[in-house]
Structure 1
Amino acid sequence: MSQITQTGIVETLKDGTFLITGSTGFLGKTLIEKLLRSCSVKNIAVIVRSKKGLTANHRIANMFEQTFFDRLRKELPEYAKYIKVIDGDLENPSIGLTSSDHDWLIENVNFIFHCAATVKFNEPLEIAAKINVYGTENMLSLAKEMKNLKGFVHVSTAYSHCPRNEIKEQNYPAAITPENLKNMFDLKEELPQKILGDWPNTYCFTKAIAENVIFKSGNHLPISVFRPSIIGCTKSEPCPGWLDNMNGPSGIATGVIVGFIRTIPLEANKVTDMVPVDYTVNAMISVMWNTVHRYQGTYETNKEPKIYNYVSSVESPLTWGKYIKEMQVYYQNAPPFRSMWYRFNVFYTNIWIGMILRFLLHRIPAAFMDLLLLVRGKKTKLLKMYSKIESMMDLLYFFTTRQWTFDNSNTKELWLLLSEEDRSMFQYSFDKFDWNSYIEDNFYGIRKHILHEDISNISEAITKNRKLFWLHQLFIGFIFYIVIQIFWWLKSFIFYHISIIF
C-alpha cells in the first residue's frame, strides 16, 4: 500500500455538511460537540423524532443546555447556526421526512454518521430489529439518493458477533436474514427464544444482522463499519469524566460505591474492554477521513466496506478486578454522601452461589428496610429496586464473566496513517494509556454527573462514611453472633438426642 498523499482530517472535512443519527445519545452528542469545536463544518443535520410531548427542536434545544456543552458555548458561541434539526423516524421506510427535508438532504449531505440504535439488551426483538436493522436499511436507501456523499460510517459494536471467542475485522454471517426476520413479524409468528441462537441479547443479535445489511446493500456506497467496545466516560474532551448514563461498568461501579450492590456476577481476572467516549469519537472521525480517501481511489482499489474494531484490550488490557479495586481507592478519599451503606461487595460466577448471596446480601436487608418503610406508612421500594438491578446484572453476566480476543489491525493501521497534528487533535490510541487516571476521572464523573455531588461535600461525606463503616462492622458482628448461636444450638440438639438413644 502506497503512502497517503491527501490532506489532513480537518481539511478533508472542512465546509462539509454532516448528517448524524442518534444525536441525542451519549455517543451522538459527543460527536456533535467535537465536530463543532474542532472541524470547520458547514452544517450538521440531525434526524430526531418527537418524543414524550417534545418536538425534535425542543429535544435538541434541551440537549444543548446541558453542562457538557459549556466549553463549546465558550469557544463557539454561534454554534446553533450550524445545526439543522430534522424531524424524522428511522423506523419509517421514508424516515418520516417532509419532501423539503428529503430534497435538502440529498442535495447537501457529504458525510453520514449513523449512530442511532436501541442499546437495551432486553429490548423485544421486533422493536430492536425495527431500529437497528430496518433503520439501517432506510438510511442506506436515503444515502444512495445523495448526490454529493463522500463518506458513510455505520456504528456497530465490537460484540456484534460475541458468540465467537475471536473477533476479527471482517464480516461474519448472521443467524438470519433481515427478509426472513421481517416475514416472521409480518406473519405475526411468535418468535421462539432459540432464534437468537448463541447471541445473549437482541442488541448484539440485531447489530450482527445490520452489518450483513451493510455488506449486501451498502457496497456501492463509500461506507465503513465502526465497532467500538464498551463506551465509557470521557478521557479529556470536552472535560474529563463526563457521562450521562449508567450503562456497563459505570452502572456497576455506581451501585457499588453507594453501597447498594453488594454481590456481582463477575470474574475479576477477565478483561473488560472499555473505551472513552471522546477517544471513540476521535476514532470515528478518523475512520470517516479514511473512508473518504479510500473511496476516492487515492491508495486502495478494493471498495468493499472496511471494518474497524475499536477496542482497548489489544494495546492496554484492563481487568474487572483492577477497575473495581481502583474505584475503591478513590472511594476512600471521596465517598458519596448519598451512600446508603458502606461499600462491600462479593464477586461470584456460579449461578447457585449467586442466588444465595443475593438472598443474604440484597433481599434480606431490602425486606427489612421495606418493613420499616411500611411501619412508617410509606411505600415499599427496596425489593423492587433489587429485582430491577439484579435483572440488569443478569443481562451483563455474559460479558462480565468472559473475555474476547479482538483483532484491530485496520484501526492500528489507520493510526499510523494520521499526521502528528491529527494524532494530537484526534487522539484515540491506547498505547501507554493511563488507566489509573482514567478510573479516577470515572469515579469523580460518577460522583458529579450521576450522583450530582460536587467536591464541596467530601468532608461531610467522609464523616458519614465512617459512621456507615462502624454500622457495617456492627452488623457483621451481629450476623457472626447469630451464626455461632445457631451452631451451638445445633450442636446441643444433636448431642442431646444422641445421649437419649444410647
Structure 2
Amino acid sequence: MDLKEFEAYRSPMKDFYRDKIVFLTGGTGFLGKLYIEKFIRCGVSEILLLSRAKKGKTPMERLTTILSSEPVFTRYQEDPELYHQKIKIIDGDVSKHQLAISNDDMSYIINSANIFLHAAADVRFDESLKESVETNIRGTSEILKIAEQAKALDVFIYVSTAFSQCNRDCIEETFYPAKFDPYKLIELVENQTDEVSFEVMGKKIIEQWPNTYAFTKSLAEEVVRRYTDKIPVAVIRPSIVTTTNSDPIPGWTDNIYGFNGVVVGAATGTLRIFHINNDYRADIVPADMVINGTLAVAWYAASHRGEDNIVNCTVADHPLTWGMVRDEQLKWQNKIPFLGGLWITTYNTTTNYYISEFLKIFYHIIPAILFDLALRLNSQKPRVLKLYRKVHKFSDVLRFFTNNEWNFRNEKFHKVISHMTEEDRKFFPCEIDKIEWKEFLAQNIMGLRMYIMKEKWDNLEQAKKQYNRRCMAHRVILVIWYFLVAYVVYNLLDVVGLMDVAKGWYAEYRK
C-alpha cells in the first residue's frame, strides 16, 4: 500500500497504536526492522529500542547504519529526522540481568511504555543451551518483570515460533504444560561451574526437541503463561519466516536463514541435493504477514483480557507443499538467473537420509574439490570446499523441519482477523489464506536476487547469457562423465569375465 494512502485513513487498529509508546526488543533483527517501519507509519509517539554495542559500534551508530541502508525504511532518505525523533535507544542486553538497563532508562520505561513487544531471540539452532537459556528464557522473564511494573501498560506480546511445540503432531493455539521448569533451568545455568558437563546434560534435557532454539522458546512460553493473570499478554507463533509479500515492499529480506538459504543455495547452483519430503506441507509465511499479525493480535488482546490470546501464524489453510515450491522456484530461477551463481540450478531432492548423504559426494564434494583445484591452478585461494561445509551444516539444521509435518490449528488467528474492519485488513494484511503463492514465490526469487545477491536488473541479460553457457558446459560434462562411468563399468566387468558371458548370451540370442 502507498504510504500516503496508509496515512490518509483512520481505522480502529491505527487509532490504537497512534501516540503510543512501544518498548521493542529485537529491533535490529530482520523482523525488528519491519516492526519499526510499521510502528512509524502507525504514528506511534515513541519506540524505546533495546540495543547493545556490537562489533565496535555504539547502539546509535548501529541504528543509523540500519536506517540509512535498508530499503524498508521508506521515508528515511527524505525525512531522517522523523525516525530519529521517534526512536529512543535503550542501551541494554536481553541476555543480562535486568537487561543491563540504567536506572534512568528503567524508570522511563516503567512510567511511559504502553506496549511491550518482545521479538528478540537467539535464533541460532546450534547455539549452546546456556546462551539460549540466558537470551530466550531469562531474557523473556526479565522483560515481563518490567512490563508488570509498567504504569500505563496496554499489552505485552511475545513473538515465539510455531515449532516451540514441535514434539507434538497437532499444535493447538494454547499454552502447553512445560516439560521442564524454566526457572529451575535458569537457576541451573546461573549456578553451573562446568559448562562442558552442563551442555552434556543439556542434550539429555532437550532430547524431544531438534535444537536449543525450539526447546528454549517452548519454556519461554511457559514464562509468559505465568503472567497471564497479572497483565494482558499475547503470543504469536509464526512458522518459517521468509521474504515480505508486499508490505512495505515486496521480496525484501536481510538474511539467508532457513527457507531463504535453500532458495539462494539452489539458485546459485550450490545446493544440488537436499533431504526433503516434497509431499509435506511447506509451512512458510511472509515476514510482513507476521508483522501485521503481531499488531493485530496485540490490538485484540488489549481489549480481550482474560482470553488465551495465543495464535499460530501458519499456512495451515493452504495445501502448499515442498514439491510445489521446488517446481515453481525452478521455473523462475531459469528465467531470472543469478549472475553471482556458482553453477546452473540442478536442485535434486530425496526423502532418504542415506541416499542424500551418498549423493553429496558426487553433487557437492567432488565438484568442490575440482573447483578448488582450478582456483589453485590460477593462484587463487581455494574456498568452495569450505563453502560446502557451511552448506551441509545449514542443511543438517533444516532437515528436521523439511522431513516432518505438523497440523497447526489457527482458529484463534482467524477470530482475531474477523474482529478487524475492512480498512484494517487493508492496512494490516495478515490473511495468509489469500496469498497468491505462485506470485509470492516469484517475488521471493526476485527479492533474494536484489537484496541478498545485490544484483541489479540491468545485468539480467548478462546473467542469462552466462547461465546458457553454463548449461552447455553442464551437458558436455555430463556426457563425458557418463562415458567415463560406462567405460569403467565395462572394464570392471571385463576383468571378472562377465563380458565374455554377456557376449555368449548375446550370440545365443542372435541365433
Question: What band does the TM-score fall into relative to the shorter chain?
Answer: over 0.9
* Aligned partner (choices 280, 286, 298) of residue 296 of structure 2: 286
TM-aligned CA deviation for residue 305 of structure 1: 4.4
**Number of the residue aligned with 2:192:** 187
**Number of the residue aligned with 1:395:** 397
**Number of the residue aligned with 2:464:** 462
- Say if 2:355 is the partner of 1:353: yes
What secondary structure, in the 3-state scheme, does the structure 2 residue paired with 1:341 have?
Answer: coil
Alignment map for 1:26-425 (pairs within 5 Å) = 26-37=30-41, 39-73=42-76, 78-185=82-189, 186-188=191-193, 189-190=197-198, 191-192=200-201, 193-295=203-305, 303=306, 305-312=308-315, 314-425=316-427
Q: Aligned partners of 1:304 and 1:229: how far apart in 2?
A: 23
- Of the structure 1 ranges 380-389 and 49-58, higher mean CA displacement relative to structure 2 is found in 380-389
TM-aligned CA deviation for residue 342 of structure 1: 1.2
Q: Which runs of 5+ in 1 are unaligned?
A: 1-6, 296-302
Deviations 1:268-294 (A, max 9, x none): 111111111111111111111111111
TM-aligned CA deviation for residue 388 of structure 1: 1.4
TM-aligned CA deviation for residue 90 of structure 1: 1.4
Whether the aligned pair in 1 keeps the contact of 2:311 and 2:412 (CA below 8 Å) is: yes
**Aligned AA for 1:370?**
D
C-alpha distance 384-100 of structure 1, shift in aligned 2 (>3 A): same
Q: Aligned partners of 2:498 and 2:439: how far apart in 1?
A: 61
Whether the aligned pair in 1 keeps the contact of 2:242 and 2:285 (CA below 8 Å) is: yes
Q: Aligned partners of 2:54 and 2:229: how far apart in 1?
A: 33
- Of the structure 1 ranges 210-219 and 254-263, higher mean CA displacement relative to structure 2 is found in 210-219
**Aligned AA for 1:86?**
I
Aligned residues: 484
TM-aligned CA deviation for residue 496 of structure 1: 7.3
What secondary structure, in the 3-state scheme, does the structure 2 residue paired with 1:264 have?
Answer: strand
Q: Aligned partners of 2:475 and 2:291: how far apart in 1?
A: 45
* Aligned partner (choices 25, 32, 43) of residue 29 of structure 2: 25
Whether the aligned pair in 1 keeps the contact of 2:174 and 2:308 (CA below 8 Å) is: no
Give the structure-1-normalised TM-score: 0.93
What secondary structure, in the 3-state scheme, does the structure 2 residue paired with 1:261 have?
Answer: coil
Q: Aligned partners of 1:145 and 1:260: how far apart in 2?
A: 51
Q: Aligned partners of 1:479 and 1:95: how far apart in 2?
A: 59
Give the structure-2-normalised TM-score: 0.92
What is the identity percentage for the equivalent residue pairs of Structure 1 and Structure 2? 32
Q: Aligned partners of 1:209 and 1:70: how far apart in 2?
A: 34
**Aligned AA for 2:319?**
P
Q: Aligned partners of 2:55 and 2:266: how far apart in 1?
A: 32
**Aligned AA for 1:306?**
N
Deviations 1:61-88 (A, max 9, x none): 1110124245233686523211111100
**Number of the residue aligned with 1:15:** 19
Whether the aligned pair in 1 keeps the contact of 2:159 and 2:235 (CA below 8 Å) is: yes
**Aligned AA for 1:54?**
K
Q: Which runs of 5+ in 2 are unaligned?
A: 1-10, 502-511
**Aligned AA for 1:46?**
L
RMSD: 1.6
What secondary structure, in the 3-state scheme, does the structure 2 residue paired with 1:47 have?
Answer: strand
C-alpha distance 449-492 of structure 1, shift in aligned 2 (>3 A): same
Whether the aligned pair in 2 keeps the contact of 1:129 and 1:206 (CA below 8 Å) is: yes
Whether the aligned pair in 2 keeps the contact of 1:273 and 1:317 (CA below 8 Å) is: no
Q: Aligned partners of 1:377 and 1:74: how far apart in 2?
A: 43
- Say if 2:434 is the partner of 1:432: yes
Whether the aligned pair in 2 keeps the contact of 1:111 and 1:150 (CA below 8 Å) is: yes
What secondary structure, in the 3-state scheme, does the structure 2 residue paired with 1:275 have?
Answer: strand
C-alpha distance 65-490 of structure 1, shift in aligned 2 (>3 A): same
C-alpha distance 497-154 of structure 1, shift in aligned 2 (>3 A): closer
**Aligned AA for 1:29?**
K
What secondary structure, in the 3-state scheme, does the structure 2 residue paired with 1:428 have?
Answer: coil
* Aligned partner (choices 482, 494, 497) of residue 495 of structure 1: 497
Q: Aligned partners of 1:157 and 1:287: how far apart in 2?
A: 15
**Aligned AA for 1:187?**
Q
Q: Aligned partners of 2:112 and 2:212: how far apart in 1?
A: 35
TM-aligned CA deviation for residue 179 of structure 1: 2.8
TM-aligned CA deviation for residue 426 of structure 1: 0.6
**Aligned AA for 1:214?**
V
Q: Aligned partners of 1:109 and 1:95: how far apart in 2?
A: 16
What secondary structure, in the 3-state scheme, does the structure 2 residue paired with 1:328 have?
Answer: helix
C-alpha distance 107-477 of structure 1, shift in aligned 2 (>3 A): same
Q: Aligned partners of 1:444 and 1:50: how far apart in 2?
A: 33
**Number of the residue aligned with 2:447:** 445
**Aligned AA for 1:105?**
I
